[in-house]
């Protein structure tokens, strides 16, 4: 007799969160070969911050921040660590498929609006060092985020949600901001070191501002998950504990 696996709403929530997490991370890596300017600036004493020059791949990262926090909070550090390794593998797989697609000649139809070989390869032809830098930065930052999150939570319990969420992001994204730009752009000669020293710190400050701005959404997300998916009793009984 065949057994049927019945998933409860906590498992379905995890599937949705994981799907959004992987999609956001892969999308961020696919679009990261472009610098943009964020027209935000402010003054703190003699220091002026902004406008910010950063990679366009930062756009999906607020979602990654929020999802990392929710998965870590309700499903445990082991899930986040395993998910980080799996996602890094999927990012690598994605780039392999993109690489093969660039080898195939395009059929150029007049007035079709479809990309020719040159345009297609210009958009998707990221250097190998950018790929390596993206994967290394993602893995290091995510694993560090999960470790710091757990460290703070063990010492504060269920209090100070903002501290473990923003604190872990602040440290992990400091590492991420420098790794991805240095390996992906400085080492292969795509960016001067002087530009790196300017762009990397502002890139980090922008991510930190985003993490702080997300604090109300983090509290809203915690409230929503607890209300509709986890009771106080089964919140302590996570699917995989850390």
Return the CATH number at 141: 1.10.1760
Average pLDDT over residues 12-40: 86
Number of domains observed in the structure of the chain: 1
Q: What is the pLDDT of residues 181-215, one digit of tens each?
A: 788 778 877 778 888 887 788 778 878 888 888 88
Give the pLDDT of residue 236.
Answer: 47
pLDDT band at 242 (very low <50, low <70, confident <90, very high): very low
Q: What is the pLDDT of residues 81-111, one digit of tens each?
A: 999 999 999 988 988 888 888 888 877 777 6
Q: What is the mean pLDDT of the chain?
A: 81
Please give the Cα distance from 155 to 158 (Å, whole number): 9
Q: Is the pLDDT of residue 120 over 90?
A: no
Q: Residue 170 falls within a domain, yes or no? A: yes
Torsion of CA 135, 136, 139, 144, to 10 degrees: -150
φ and ψ at residue 33, rounded to 5 degrees: -90, 45
Domain annotation covers residue 1: no
* pLDDT value, residue 240: 47
> What is the percent of the chain with per-residue pLDDT over 70, rounded to a whole number?
89
Quick one: pLDDT at residue 241? 45
Share of the chain above pLDDT 90, in %: 12
- pLDDT tens digits for 45-73? 777 777 777 777 778 888 888 899 899 98
pLDDT of residue 95: 84
Token digits of residue 138: 């993602």
Q: For 213, list phi and psi in degrees, rounded to 5.
A: -65, -25
Full residue range of the structural domain in which residue 202 is found: 9-231
* Residue 177 counted as domain residue: yes
236 domain-assigned: no
161: in domain? yes
Sort 8 into a burial class: Cβ within 10 Å, 0-12 / 13-18 / 19+. Answer: exposed
Q: What per-residue confidence (pLDDT) applies to 231?
A: 65
Stated pTM of the model: 0.80
Question: Per the structure block, which two tokens stand in for 94?
Answer: 């994605």
| Geometric angle at alpha carbon 86, from 22 and 212, rounded to 5° | 50
């Amino acid at each position: 007799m065949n057994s049927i696996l019945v998933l409860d709403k906590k498992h379905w929530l995890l599937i949705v969160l994981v799907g959004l997490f992987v999609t956001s991370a892969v999308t961020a890596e696919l679009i990261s070969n472009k610098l943009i300017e964020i027209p935000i600036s402010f003054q703190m004493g003699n220091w002026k911050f902004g406008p910010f020059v950063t990679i366009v791949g930062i756009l999906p990262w607020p979602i990654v921040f929020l999802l990392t926090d929710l998965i870590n909070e309700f499903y445990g550090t082991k899930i986040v660590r395993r998910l980080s390794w799996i996602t890094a593998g999927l990012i690598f797989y994605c780039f392999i498929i993109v690489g093969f697609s660039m080898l195939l000649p395009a059929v150029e139809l007049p007035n079709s609006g479809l990309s020719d070989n040159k345009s297609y390869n210009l958009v998707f032809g990221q250097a190998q060092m950018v790929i390596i830098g993206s994967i290394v930065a993602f893995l290091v930052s995510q694993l560090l985020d999960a470790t710091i999150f757990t460290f703070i939570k063990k010492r504060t319990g269920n209090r100070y949600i903002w501290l473990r969420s923003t604190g872990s992001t602040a440290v992990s994204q400091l590492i991420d901001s420098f790794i991805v730009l240095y390996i992906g752009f400085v080492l292969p000669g795509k960016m001067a070191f002087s530009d790196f020293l300017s762009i990397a710190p502002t890139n980090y400050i922008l991510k930190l501002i985003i993490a702080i701005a997300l604090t109300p959404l983090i509290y809203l997300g915690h409230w929503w998950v607890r209300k509709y998916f986890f009771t106080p009793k089964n919140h302590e009984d996570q699917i995989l504990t850390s």
